[in-house]
C-alpha cells in the first residue's frame, strides 16, 4: 500500500511539474502608473496588468523586471527579456517587432498658469520639463526656440511648474494625472493642457525570440482583443 501511495505521489508531482507554465521575462519602463514597484516590492500598474494577461493567455508565467526607459531596448537586444510594452523608438525597432497595439496614449503638454501654448509653434522661448529621454513628440521635431529640461521626477517637475521655473511639462495624460494627484496641487495652479499627439503603446517581442514563441504571444493578444478586453487595436 505504501508503494502504491508513493507511486501516486510521484505521479502527481510529475504531472504538476509538467503542467507548470514556462516563464517569460518581460522588461517594462519603470514609471507610474504604467509600471512601478508596489508597497510589497512587486510590480504593479497598467502595463503590468496587460503584459500579465497576454503572458497567461499564452500559457506563460510572466517574470516582470522594471527598468529605466533607456534599458528597455538593450534588455530585449541582449536576451534579458523577450517581451515589453512601449512606444516605438529607433532603438526598439532594431531589436524588437510589434505584435499589436495594447492601448492608445495621449502625449500632452501642461502649461504653467502664465502660459497657454496649444501648438508647437507657440513654444518659442519655453523651458519644457520632461523625463530623461521622453517627450519624443517634441525632441524629434525641428525645434523652434525652446529648451527641454530633464527632470529628476515628475513631482519635482510639477512643483517647478507651480513656481513658474518651467513654462510647461511634457508627459502622457495618465502620468500627468497620477503625479498631480500625488502632489495635491490644485488644477488652478496650472494653465491649460494641450494634446501633442496620440501614440500606440505596442506589445513588442524581441527579434531574437523563437518564432514559435512570437506566434504564440501574437495569438494570445488576438484572443484577448477578440474578447473585448483592454488589449485591443
Per-residue model confidence as pLDDT tens for the chain (233 residues)? 444 434 444 444 444 444 478 999 999 999 999 999 998 999 999 999 999 999 999 999 999 999 998 899 999 999 999 999 999 989 999 999 999 999 999 999 999 999 999 988 899 999 999 987 788 878 777 766 899 999 989 999 999 999 999 999 999 999 999 999 999 999 999 999 999 989 999 999 999 999 999 999 999 999 999 887 654 44
Q: Rounded to two decimals, what is the model's pTM?
A: 0.81
Q: Which CATH number fits domain 19-104+200-226: 1.10.20.10, 3.40.50.2030, 3.40.190.10, 3.30.70.360?
A: 3.40.190.10
The strand order across the sheet containing 147-150 reads 60-67, 22-29, 83-86, 190-206, 96-112, 168-172, 127-130, 147-150
Q: Which CATH superfamily is domain 105-198 in?
A: Periplasmic binding protein-like II (3.40.190.10)
Contacts of 58 (CB under 8 A, 6+ apart): 24, 216, 217, 219, 220
Coil, helix or strand at residue 140: coil
Please report which helix (H) or strand (E) contains residue 141, including its range: none
Residues of the chain with CATH 3.40.190.10: 19-104+200-226, 105-198
Amino acid at each position: 500500500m505504501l508503494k502504491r501511495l508513493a507511486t501516486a505521489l510521484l505521479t502527481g508531482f510529475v504531472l504538476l511539474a509538467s503542467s507548470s507554465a514556462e516563464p517569460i521575462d518581460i522588461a517594462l519602463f519603470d514609471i507610474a502608473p504604467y509600471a512601478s514597484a508596489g508597497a510589497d516590492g512587486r510590480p504593479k500598474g497598467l502595463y503590468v496588468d496587460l503584459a500579465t494577461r497576454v503572458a497567461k493567455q499564452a500559457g506563460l508565467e510572466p517574470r516582470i523586471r522594471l527598468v529605466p526607459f533607456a534599458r528597455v531596448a538593450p534588455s530585449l537586444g541582449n536576451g534579458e527579456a523577450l517581451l515589453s510594452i512601449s512606444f516605438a523608438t529607433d532603438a526598439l525597432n532594431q531589436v524588437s517587432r510589434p505584435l499589436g497595439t495594447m492601448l492608445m496614449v495621449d502625449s500632452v503638454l501642461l502649461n504653467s498658469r502664465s502660459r497657454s501654448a496649444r501648438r508647437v509653434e507657440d513654444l518659442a522661448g519655453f523651458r519644457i520639463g520632461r523625463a530623461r529621454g521622453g517627450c519624443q513628440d517634441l525632441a524629434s521635431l525641428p525645434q523652434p526656440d525652446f529648451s527641454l529640461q530633464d527632470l529628476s521626477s515628475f513631482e519635482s517637475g510639477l512643483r517647478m511648474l507651480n513656481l513658474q521655473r518651467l513654462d510647461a511639462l511634457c508627459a502622457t495624460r495618465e502620468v500627468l494625472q497620477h503625479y498631480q494627484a500625488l502632489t495635491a496641487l490644485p488644477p488652478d495652479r496650472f494653465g491649460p493642457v494641450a494634446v501633442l499627439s496620440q501614440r500606440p503603446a505596442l506589445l513588442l517581442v524581441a527579434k531574437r525570440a523563437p518564432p514559435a514563441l512570437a506566434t504564440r504571444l501574437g495569438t494570445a493578444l488576438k484572443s484577448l482583443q477578440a474578447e473585448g478586453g483592454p488589449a485591443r487595436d
